[in-house]
């Protein structure tokens, strides 16, 4: 296990060896990755009651979600059906809106986004910010044992469902103010496998589901 200074030194070496990029030379950063069927990323991070904050950048496409009334799950974990920590977009008879769940609380915003509009969303205990529009809400007790996933959620603490289909630009996860995940879209040059590189822990995350991610242009 490298300490902080060793990590910074290795990051600098990676920067130089890659010609100035953020990633090690074995990986190529891209504009985004995109899901189409049942792809997902397991972040390996289990959220806490008070300390977790998530920033994410994404963009809807013409492909719909697969759970319920065209719900698109952006990220989250949902151990007891709407009792977890997640961000989704609900397509119901009453309208299409983004929704945040935190513990036993569910908050449906009055916002939607058009296909092709990049969304920058921050969610933490008691608030959510959508492209500069902030909502506050109450929160219930949050108890989960599964990690946050992207493009889908755990439901009932065991089964993955609700695969969203959208373009993913970035995600940052903070625990008590400390950055613990910093995901960058990329692919591994040796075999063209597409995934997300975590700049914090120097780990490459690949598709944990079925199907195949597609990617944007090289950065």
Q: Would you say how long the chain is, in residues?
A: 219
Distance CA 173, CA 52 (A): 7
In order of 25, 52, 77, 84, 162, the CA distances from 103 in angstroms are 41, 12, 10, 5, 18
Q: Does the pLDDT value for residue 3 go beyond 50?
A: no
pLDDT number for residue 146: 87
Give the mean pLDDT of 100-114: 79
Distance CA 107, CA 103 (A): 11
Handedness of CA 14, 17, 22, 25 (dihedral sign): negative
Secondary structure element (H or E) that encloses residue 4, with its range: helix 4-17
Q: What does the mean pLDDT of the chain come to?
A: 85
Name the band, by pLDDT with cuts 50, 70 and 90, for residue 67. low
pLDDT digits (tens, 9 = 90+) for 10-25: 554 554 444 458 999 9
Buried b (16+ CB within 10 A) or exposed e, 121-140: bbbbbebbebeeeebebebe
pLDDT number for residue 64: 65
Q: What is the dihedral of CA 46, 109, 170, 11, to 10 degrees?
A: -50
Handedness of CA 32, 195, 156, 135 (dihedral sign): negative
pLDDT digits (tens, 9 = 90+) for 150-193: 999 887 766 788 888 999 999 999 999 999 999 999 999 999 99
Name the band, by pLDDT with cuts 50, 70 and 90, for residue 116. confident
pLDDT number for residue 211: 93
Domains of the chain, residue spans: 29-182+197-215
pLDDT digits (tens, 9 = 90+) for 35-58: 999 999 999 999 887 789 999 999
Helix (H, G, I), strand (E, B) or coil at 88: strand
DSSP 2: -
Q: Are 97 and 88 in contact (CB under 8 A)?
A: no
Strands 33-34 and 214-215: what pairing?
Answer: antiparallel
pLDDT number for residue 15: 47
Question: Which residues, 6+ apart, have CB-to-CB distance to 10 below 8 Å?
Answer: 2, 202
Is CATH 2.70.40.10 the classification given to domain 29-182+197-215?
A: no
pTM for the model stands at 0.86
pLDDT number for residue 157: 60
pLDDT number for residue 5: 44
Tokens of 18: 């890659």
What pairs with residue 70 in β-bridges?
none
Cα end-to-end distance, the chain, whole Å: 30
């Amino acid at each position: 296990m490298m300490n902080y200074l060793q990590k910074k030194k290795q990051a600098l070496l990676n920067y130089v060896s890659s010609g100035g990029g953020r990633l090690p030379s074995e990986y190529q950063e891209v504009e985004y990755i995109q899901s189409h069927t049942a792809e997902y990323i397991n972040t390996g991070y289990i959220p806490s009651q008070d300390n977790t904050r998530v920033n994410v950048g994404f963009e809807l496409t013409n492909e719909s979600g697969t759970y319920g009334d065209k719900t698109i799950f952006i990220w989250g974990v949902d151990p007891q059906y709407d009792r977890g920590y997640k961000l989704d977009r609900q397509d119901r008879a009453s309208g299409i809106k983004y929704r945040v769940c935190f513990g036993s609380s569910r908050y449906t915003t009055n916002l939607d986004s058009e296909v092709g509009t990049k969304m920058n969303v921050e969610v933490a205990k008691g608030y959510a910010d959508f492209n500069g529009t902030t909502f506050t809400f109450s929160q219930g007790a949050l108890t989960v044992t599964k990690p946050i996933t992207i493009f889908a959620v755990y439901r009932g603490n065991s089964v993955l469902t609700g695969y969203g289909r959208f373009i993913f630009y970035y995600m940052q996860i903070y625990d008590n103010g400390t950055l613990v995940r910093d995901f960058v879209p990329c692919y591994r040059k040796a075999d063209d496998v597409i995934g997300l590189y975590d700049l914090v822990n120097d780990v490459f995350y690949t598709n944990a589901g079925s199907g195949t991610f597609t990617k944007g242009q090289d950065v």
